[in-house]
């Protein structure tokens, strides 16, 4: 059984009136059990061609039910460049330059595709899927 641990630290000295410090750690496990996730789609990068258009990054039909985890990062350093992230037609949000996201995903139908839409030509998205199968 593989053990994969995710952690996040959020710190600020000027966001609120007191110093802010939040830290959380979790072991990634499968749906409804304590078994570690044992597969990954590997860390990859996708450069979207000129004439930016929506792209299906993960097809819901290609993965079964489960507690998959998704990592996305906008590698751009240009502040205005962002990726719009959607699950099918529902917009989750935008990743601006240097932003990243880590979220659970249940891929049980073609209506659960993860789609990305770059704001500019030739942007690069870094991504990885941790698979619960």
Question: Which domains are present in the chain?
Answer: 39-131 (2.60.120.10)
Sorting pLDDT into bands at 50, 70 and 90, what band is 63? confident
In the chain, what's the furthest Cα-to-Cα distance? 47
The C-alpha angle 27, 33, 6, rounded to 5 degrees, equals 15
Does the pLDDT of residue 101 top 90, yes or no?
yes
Does the pLDDT of residue 1 top 70, yes or no?
no
pLDDT of res. 34: 83
Sorting pLDDT into bands at 50, 70 and 90, what band is 14? very high
Sorting pLDDT into bands at 50, 70 and 90, what band is 45? very high
């Amino acid at each position: 059984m593989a053990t994969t641990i995710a952690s996040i630290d959020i710190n600020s000295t000027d966001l609120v009136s007191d110093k802010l410090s939040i830290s959380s750690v979790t072991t990634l496990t499968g749906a409804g059990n304590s078994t570690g996730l044992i597969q990954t789609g590997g860390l990859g990068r996708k450069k979207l061609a000129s004439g930016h258009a929506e792209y299906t990054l993960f097809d819901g039909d290609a993965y079964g039910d489960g507690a998959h985890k998704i990592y996305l990062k906008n590698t751009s350093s240009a502040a205005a460049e962002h990726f719009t992230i959607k699950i099918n037609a529902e917009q989750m949000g935008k990743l601006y330059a240097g932003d990243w996201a880590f979220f659970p995903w249940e891929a049980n139908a073609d209506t659960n595709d993860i789609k990305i839409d770059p704001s500019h030509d030739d942007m690069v998205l870094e991504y990885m899927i941790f698979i619960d199968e």
